[in-house]
Amino acid sequence: MSTNKVIKEVEVYCREHGIRFTDQRRMALEIIASSKKPLGAYDVLAEMGKEVENPKPTTVYRALDFLLEHAFIHKIESLNAFVVCHAGHSHEGSQFMVCDDCGKVEEVHLCHLPKDLKKKIDDTGFQLTRWNTEIHGTCNRCQP
Ligand SMILES: [Zn+2]
Ligand SMILES: [Zn+2]
């Protein structure tokens, strides 16, 4: 999905849900969506610094929190970095294939996986707040 399309979709979503899509939020999303690799918070801060003068880390963190909360982006825990959502943020639980060679992350969805897991977990009385599966390996392109 192109960066423009991602931004457009989020714009529409925010308008329909009465959410404010501020300049900082847009900028952070644009930066992450146009990157080919997952970006850490400080990468986002550095990129933002090219557009506005001395952006504050707290501004970036707040924008990232917002984007995460609405699942416009996902956090890859093992890399401590963020990727844009390519699945229309209507899903619960995601699976990510992380290439250890080139660093590319691909989002996949097997919707029955989170559902099955939730059922199992509900039986134990445990309360599930979030779920991410990260699968490490080598992507097609990086294989010899
Ligand atoms: Zn997603
Ligand atoms: Zn690769």
Instruction: Provide the residue ranges of all domains of the chain, joining segments of one domain with +.
Output: 3-84, 94-142
Q: Most distant CA pair in the chain: distance in Å?
A: 52
* pTM score, whole prediction: 0.86
Ligand positioned closest to the Cα atom of 67 = 1
Rounded to the nearest angstrom, the distance between the alpha carbon of 77 and the centre of ligand 2 is 18
Q: What's the pLDDT at 109?
A: 81
* Architecture of the domain whose range is 94-142: 2-Layer Sandwich (3.30)
Amino acid present at 118: K
Residue 30's pLDDT band, with cuts at 50, 70 and 90, is very high
Read off the pLDDT of each residue in 11-39 and give the average, rounded to a whole number. Answer: 95
Q: What's the pLDDT at 42?
A: 96
Q: What's the pLDDT at 129?
A: 80
What is the per-residue pLDDT across 12-23, written as a single tens digit (0 to 9) for each?
A: 999 999 999 999
Read off the pLDDT of each residue in 115-120 and give the average, rounded to a whole number. Answer: 86
What is the per-residue pLDDT across 52-94, written as a single tens digit (0 to 9) for each?
A: 999 999 999 999 999 999 889 999 999 999 999 977 656 677 8
Provide the residues around ligand 2 (an ion) whose CB is within 5 A: 99, 101-102, 139, 142
Ligand positioned closest to the Cα atom of 108 = 1
Tokens describing residue 43: 């990468």
**Non-local CB neighbours of 117 within 8 Å, separated by 6+ positions:** 93, 128, 131
Domain 3-84: top CATH class: mainly alpha
Rounded to the nearest angstrom, the distance between the alpha carbon of 55 and the centre of ligand 2 is 32
Q: What's the pLDDT at 94?
A: 82
